[in-house]
């Protein structure tokens, strides 16, 4: 029997699970295992490649790895600058602007200035490498730089929320093949984060318990778990919006990504590498997006249990999703977790040297 499921936190979202329990076995072609078209950007024209001749965003910071330690480059020689490991750019065509135009209006034509910062984090000088192909060390260094920028951005005036996200492929909205992350700030909390935080706040007030911690306790070793480590669990959510969507959550209660320890960052890098490579083994190098759901650090009443969400983009939405907010998910989350979990655990074993 088909069923409707509700999200853990956003209770006004419905996910339709059709009656197709055996479909994954009967129709193996549902696994999207073909190479997707990639953005047409060669290394010579790429604005993020070393020695690029293309139009580049404004360089803010450069980092280099020396003797295994990530170091910030200040006054550097050209040679050092050409051998960078991670760079931070300020967008020349930002989604939000640094200065307010002071244009406000209320219903029915509500508007407010979209003020904030728009940064690009380039985690590697390698143009043709995919996010899923980056090493554990590269992911560790990227996460450390993301932490550094989150701390700095939350110290800036007018920043209420810091959004961290990335995509691969045209369907994910990425026009540049070179791997990169976006950090965009807002003067208000985004709607999905606001809904999640409201649920967390209500649960903590009513029962004193974190709903994410309760969810994780229920999902550990369950049918939707891909795998878990000491610090993190990777799972397909009960009511996913996207086919093969999965989350990465700290197992212990944690509200601020910016305060994650070095040990936790190392563990998270391993988990991200394993799960993204497992996804590629099953779905091919399909387009996908990744988003960090982190707490807005300036409003203590709007805290949440931070986590990452990965959305493979293997199918387009119909009128049902677009027009009514009811999301059709095939195969069902339990089958998705089984398939992704087997591939991800193998990748984890390879990364830690078991296989």
Residues annotated catalytic, as ranges: 180
At 45, give phi and psi (nearest 5°): -95, -5
Q: Report whether the peptide linkage leading into residue 50 is cis, meaning its omega lies within 30 degrees of zero.
A: no
Rounded Cα gap, residues 132 and 152, in angstroms? 27
Rounded Cα gap, residues 114 and 306, in angstroms? 24
Per the DSSP assignment, residues forming a β-bridge with 108 are: none
Rounded Cα gap, residues 219 and 240, in angstroms? 14
* Residue 3 burial class via C-beta count within 10 angstroms: exposed 0-12, middle 13-18, buried 19 and up: exposed
At 30, give phi and psi (nearest 5°): -65, -25
From 284, 279, 249, 294, select the one nearest 348 (Cα to Cα): 279
């Amino acid at each position: 029997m088909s069923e409707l499921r509700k999200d853990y936190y956003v209770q006004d979202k419905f996910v339709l699970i059709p009656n197709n329990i055996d479909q994954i076995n009967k129709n193996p072609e549902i696994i999207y295992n073909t190479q997707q078209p990639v953005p047409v950007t060669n290394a010579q024209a790429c604005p993020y490649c070393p020695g690029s001749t293309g139009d580049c965003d404004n360089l803010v910071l450069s980092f280099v790895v020396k003797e295994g330690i990530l170091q910030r480059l200040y006054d550097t020689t050209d040679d050092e600058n050409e051998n960078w490991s991670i760079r931070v750019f300020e967008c020349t065509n930002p989604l939000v602007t640094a200065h307010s135009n002071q244009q406000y209006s209320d219903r029915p034509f509500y508007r407010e200035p979209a003020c904030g910062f728009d940064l690009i984090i380039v985690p590697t000088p390698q143009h043709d490498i995919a996010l899923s192909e980056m090493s554990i060390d590269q992911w560790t260094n990227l996460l450390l730089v993301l932490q550094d920028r989150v701390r700095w951005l939350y110290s800036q005036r007018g920043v209420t929320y810091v959004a961290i996200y990335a995509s691969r492929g045209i369907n994910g909205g990425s026009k540049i093949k070179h791997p990169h992350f976006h950090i965009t700030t807002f003067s208000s909390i985004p709607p999905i984060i606001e809904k999640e935080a409201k649920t967390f706040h209500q649960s903590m007030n009513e029962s004193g318990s974190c709903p994410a911690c309760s969810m994780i306790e229920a999902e550990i070793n369950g049918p939707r778990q891909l795998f878990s480590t000491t610090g993190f669990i990777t799972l397909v959510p009960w009511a996913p919006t996207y086919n093969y969507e999965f989350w990465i959550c700290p197992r212990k209660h944690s509200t601020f990504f910016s305060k994650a320890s070095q040990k936790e960052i190392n563990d998270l890098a391993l988990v991200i590498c394993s799960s993204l490579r497992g996804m590629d083994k099953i779905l091919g190098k399909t387009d996908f997006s990744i988003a960090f759901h982190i707490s807005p650090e300036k409003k203590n009443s709007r805290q949440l249990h931070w986590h990452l969400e990965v959305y493979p983009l293997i199918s387009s939405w119909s009128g049902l999703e677009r027009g009514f907010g009811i999301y059709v998910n095939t195969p069902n989350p339990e089958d998705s977790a089984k398939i992704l979990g087997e591939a991800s655990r193998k990748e984890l074993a390879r990364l830690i040297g078991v296989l």
